[in-house]
Amino acid sequence: MLQLASILHSQGFSVTVIHTHFNSPAKSRHPHFTFLPISDGLSPAEASTEDVVSLLTLLNSNCAAPFRDALGGLLADGPIACLITDTGWHFSQSVADGFGIPRIVLRTTSVSSFLAFAALPMLREKGYLLKQESPVPELAPLQVKDLPSFTTNDSDNLYNSLSNTVQQSKASSGLIWNTFSELEKFALIQLREQFPIPNFPIGPFHKSFPASSSSLLTEDMSSISWLNTQKPKSVLYVSFGSIADMGGNKFLEMAWGLANSMQPFLWVVRPGMIRGSEWLEALPGGFMEKVGNNGCIVKWAPQQEVLAHFAVGGFWTHNGWNSTLESICEGVPMICSPCFGDQLVNAKYVSDVWGIGLRFDKGVERGEVERGIRRVMLEREGEEMRERILCLKEKADACLKEGGSSYQYLEQLINHILSFQ
């Protein structure tokens, strides 16, 4: 959202960001924005829950009144061209309608995964979700096992939330996407059929503002110094994002797979990422001695800079959309270990549709990890992946230049917003 705000600000728009105290943005990084905090009404227990569906439902309920008050206060100071909110904030459509303000929706996942999210209630009614290996003709080439998934204690709440998100997105004045037409051509055709409102694929956002980082974690720049000592395309970068966690056994299998591959690696291990451990206590005895300078472990890394580094030749990722898109934009083939949500759809497209990575389908086992790393980093199969992803990188670069698809869609978005005034 802040990357989009920066894009719009660069086009001459004044930006005010209404935000909750939960996951509050780093205001000092964006001095050109006005920030307006509102109460989220979350208790410490609610704010720390692992049930994302319950958390989102609570926020939609708790934030409606404070959001309405904040927006009303802004309107008292002058007119507002439009409201842009995340699809998950479906309550904001009724608030916008109440004030007579157009609402445009930002969706931060891929178009393909959003179509899968939107179809889940229908697929549930048809009984698809009980058969993991079954194909889903409505969402080809996905199988049931590739559909978005969440761990929640209330499945009815999940499907109600999905239905609200879809309905209120259709009621909006348009959808903004952090993707580009050349990457998701057929998904965008389907999208326009199901959501016959203006759609604006103007990504990749981060290429418009390369210096901006959306991370809330402190980046360890020593990782760049270590990369500077490595050979071109030799390093496997390993990071599972800012949310995913894992058990100790999976961590051990990852560790030994990395070590046994004999391939240099940069591994991001967040504090608390391994359940039951503070940081690296779960590493097996003798691991660091075996690896030596062939590996570098940090708590967090400047991912965009890492992926653009000459030494990085592969990315073992959870396939969050930002990570997937950043890897495509730097021409780095992927090893996919999706955890939940849209990551499963993204991994399917990376491995089976775009052909720019491989996926660990049978869990994480050290022998498979070693073989997978070698396939991507050393074998002809990996070279073919790199050739394909470099073609996508060229398209990502071209789409943002004058006359490119995202450039033109951004012009259309600007004109769309100006038409509201």
pLDDT tens column, 96-112: 999 999 999 999 999 99
Domain match, 275 and 193 both: no
Domain match, 342 and 408 both: no
Residue type, 148: P
Output the pLDDT for position 130: 67
Residue 17's Cβ-side half-sphere holds a number of Cα atoms within 13 Å equal to 22
Domain match, 309 and 415 both: no
Domain presence at residue 86: yes
Domain match, 311 and 178 both: no
Domain count, the chain: 2
215 pLDDT exceeds 80? no
Six-digit token pair at 200?
């604006």
- What are the φ/ψ torsions at residue 283 (nearest 5 degrees)? -60, 140
Split at pLDDT 50, 70, 90, the class of 85 is very high
Split at pLDDT 50, 70, 90, the class of 90 is very high
Cβ–Cβ under 8 Å, residues 406 and 201 = yes
Domain presence at residue 38: yes
Split at pLDDT 50, 70, 90, the class of 415 is very high
pTM of the entire predicted model: 0.94
Domain match, 180 and 32 both: yes
Domain match, 201 and 301 both: no
What letter would DSSP give residue 143?
A: B
CATH number at residue 90: 3.40.50.2000
- Domain housing 34: 1-112+153-211+399-419
Residues whose CB falls within 8 Å of the CB of residue 191, separated by 6 or more in sequence, listed in order: 111, 114, 115, 175, 199
Domain presence at residue 280: yes
User: Rounded to an integer, what distance in angstroms lies between the CA atom of residue 334 and that of residue 350?
Assistant: 8
Domain match, 7 and 99 both: yes
Domain match, 310 and 414 both: no
Domain match, 195 and 254 both: no
Cβ–Cβ under 8 Å, residues 382 and 359 = no
Domain presence at residue 184: yes
Domain presence at residue 415: yes
Domain presence at residue 124: no
Quick one: average pLDDT of 128-143?
Answer: 85
Domain match, 368 and 258 both: yes
What confidence tens digit (pLDDT) does each residue in 241-268 have? Answer: 887 778 888 999 999 999 999 999 999 9
Domain match, 182 and 194 both: yes
Domain presence at residue 391: yes
Residue type, 341: G
What letter would DSSP give residue 246?
A: B
Domain match, 100 and 248 both: no
Helix (H) or strand (E) holding 313: strand 312-317
Output the pLDDT for position 214: 52
What confidence tens digit (pLDDT) does each residue in 324-379 have? Answer: 999 999 999 999 999 999 999 999 999 999 999 999 977 899 999 999 999 999 99
* Helices marked H in 81-218: 91-99, 111-126, 155-170, 185-194, 205-208
Quick one: average pLDDT of 179-190?
Answer: 98
Domain presence at residue 123: no
Output the pLDDT for position 213: 53
Six-digit token pair at 86?
């995340």
Residue type, 33: F
Which of 99-108, 169-178, 267-276 has the least mean pLDDT? 267-276
Split at pLDDT 50, 70, 90, the class of 288 is confident
User: Rounded to an integer, what distance in angstroms lies between the CA atom of residue 383 and that of residue 137?
Assistant: 32
Best CA proximity match to 262, nearest among 379, 374, 357, 375: 374
Question: Can you count the helices (H) and strands (E) in the chain?
Answer: 18, 12
